[in-house]
């Protein structure tokens, strides 16, 4: 850091003006100190069995809760929030469709990084070191946002911005600039707990505590067999779940913005099932998919098919038949469930060489009521 590099409250105000002009909606600062509270809570949740193998910032808790370890000489962590609350403008799907969580309708993280990079560029030109961290699990950005006073933790464990709710992506700049930190804002939820019963699987085990093993967003990303007891609750979701956010009064009061960029609020289930693996991953390039393996997308699509499709649609029958003959046992297993749920047991094989598929054949779901 240059000895004459700017610092202080006035400098933070200029950086904030630049951040807001660059597309961020909120911007704040926290000290580049270990996030001791978050570290304690995260280790406690691992010990309590609430993480269910989820990695992300849990992959190396001590590192993701120590921003200064990633930038030598760091004094501050600047955090920015960018809204992803936009109106959908994609064309309707002809046939079964699957819902995408709002934050993935567009590549909002790309725009967030662009805005943060503008601010980081100013910091560097002023003689500071500055590194942008966003969507890479390097820093527990929710904790930084809370410490920086731009929002409070809701009972759904999201950061709620005063007057704006939680439809925001967050990112940080770890920097050697010395700027004053804010104070956390007061909890604004009060007695409201609408998000807790809104969760379709009861994943909010206590205010602010998420049981990842019951969270649909994580189940959709986790590899392996999708838990049988939660498949019906998945409904038509294919990536993420917004229910605990859309139930929040603070989030619901905010009007969604129009966008000229094409959104993807839903995907065509049959078209995606018919695509080869490379095409599936190309079309889902914004999604976090374990190992970039299309198997897990197909698994989720088949559950949506079983929950929503018209069993009399010949395209659906053909898709089920194709999936039942798929080389991956994980795909065949979930195709068994979908076919039985749609009343097409005539498609099911008498046996299968894989134990996973045989287990599904031995535990067929009841027929879905179709109107």
Inter-residue contact 142 to 45 (CB < 8 Å): no
User: Is 126 known to be catalytic?
Assistant: no
- 3-state SS class at 170: strand
As annotated, the residues of the chain forming the CATH 3.40.109 domain(s) are 8-85+106-175
Question: Distance between CA 32 and CA 174 in Å, rounded?
Answer: 7
**Residue 257 phi/psi, 5° resolution?**
-85, 150
Q: What is the pTM of this model?
A: 0.94
What pLDDT does residue 371 have? 61
What pLDDT does residue 82 have? 97
Whose tokens are 């930038």? That residue is: 71
**Counting beta carbons within 10 angstroms of the beta carbon of residue 10, is it exposed (0 to 12), middle (13 to 18) or buried (19 or more)?**
exposed
Q: How long, in residues, is the chain?
A: 371
The CATH classification number of 8-85+106-175 equals 3.40.109
What pLDDT does residue 230 have? 98
Ranges assigned E (strand) in 117-275? 130-133, 152-153, 159-160, 168-175, 204-206, 209-210, 237-239, 266-268
- Catalytic residue, chosen from 90, 107, 135, 359, is 135
How many other C-beta atoms can be found within 10 angstroms of the C-beta atom of residue 349? 13
**CA-CA distances (angstroms) from residue 253 to 165, 199, 312?**
8, 19, 40
Per-residue pLDDT of the chain (371 residues), as tens digits, is 677 789 999 999 999 999 999 999 999 999 999 999 999 999 999 999 999 999 999 999 999 999 999 999 999 999 999 999 999 999 899 999 999 999 999 999 999 999 999 999 999 999 999 999 999 999 999 999 999 999 999 999 999 999 999 999 999 999 999 999 999 999 999 999 999 999 999 999 999 999 999 999 999 999 999 999 999 999 999 999 999 999 999 998 887 888 888 899 999 999 999 999 999 999 999 999 999 999 999 999 999 999 999 999 999 999 999 999 999 999 999 999 999 999 999 999 999 999 999 999 999 999 998 76
**Counting beta carbons within 10 angstroms of the beta carbon of residue 18, is it exposed (0 to 12), middle (13 to 18) or buried (19 or more)?**
middle
Give one DSSP letter per residue of 60-77, joined into a string. THHHHT-GGGGSTT--EE
What pLDDT does residue 88 have? 93
What pLDDT does residue 253 have? 83
| Token representation of residue 68 | 């200064």
Helix, strand, coil abundance in the chain, percent, nearest 5: 45, 15, 45
**CA-CA distances (angstroms) from residue 80 to 48, 116, 117, 171, 325?**
31, 7, 11, 6, 48
What pLDDT does residue 227 have? 98
């Amino acid at each position: 850091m240059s000895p004459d590099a700017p610092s202080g409250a006035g400098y933070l105000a200029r950086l904030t003006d630049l951040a807001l002009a660059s597309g961020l909606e909120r911007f704040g600062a926290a000290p580049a100190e270990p996030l001791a509270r978050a570290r304690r809570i995260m280790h406690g949740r691992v010990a309590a069995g609430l993480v269910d193998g989820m990695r992300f910032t849990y992959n190396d808790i001590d590192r993701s809760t120590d921003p200064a370890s990633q930038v030598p000489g760091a004094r501050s962590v600047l955090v920015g929030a960018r809204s992803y609350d936009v109106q959908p403008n994609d064309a309707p799907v002809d046939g079964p469709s699957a819902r995408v969580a709002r934050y993935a309708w567009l590549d909002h993280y790309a725009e967030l990084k662009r805005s943060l990079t503008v601010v980081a560029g100013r910091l560097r030109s002023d003689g500071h070191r500055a590194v942008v961290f966003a969507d890479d699990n390097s820093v527990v950005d929710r904790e930084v946002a809370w410490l920086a006073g731009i929002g409070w933790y809701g009972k759904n464990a999201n950061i709620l911005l005063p007057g704006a709710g939680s439809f925001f992506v967050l990112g940080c700049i770890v920097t050697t600039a010395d700027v004053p930190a804010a104070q956390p804002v007061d909890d604004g939820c009060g007695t409201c707990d609408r998000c807790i019963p809104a969760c379709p699987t009861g994943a909010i085990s206590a205010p602010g505590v998420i049981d990842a093993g019951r969270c649909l967003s994580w189940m959709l990303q986790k590899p392996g067999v999708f838990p049988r007891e939660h498949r019906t609750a998945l409904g038509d979701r294919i990536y993420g779940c917004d229910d605990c956010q859309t139930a929040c009064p603070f989030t619901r009061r905010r009007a969604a913005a129009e966008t000229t960029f094409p959104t993807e609020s839903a995907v065509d289930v049959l078209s995606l099932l018919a695509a080869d693996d490379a095409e599936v991953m190309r079309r889902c390039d914004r999604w976090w998919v374990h190992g970039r393996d299309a198997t897990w997308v197909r698994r989720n699509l088949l559950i949506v098919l079983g929950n929503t499709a018209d069993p009399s649609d010949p395209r659906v029958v053909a898709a089920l038949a194709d999936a039942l003959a798929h080389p991956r046992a994980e795909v065949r297993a979930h195709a068994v469930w979908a076919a039985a749920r749609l009343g097409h047991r005539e498609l099911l094989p008498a046996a299968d060489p894989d134990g996973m598929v045989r287990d599904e054949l031995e535990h067929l779901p009841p027929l879905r009521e179709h109107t």
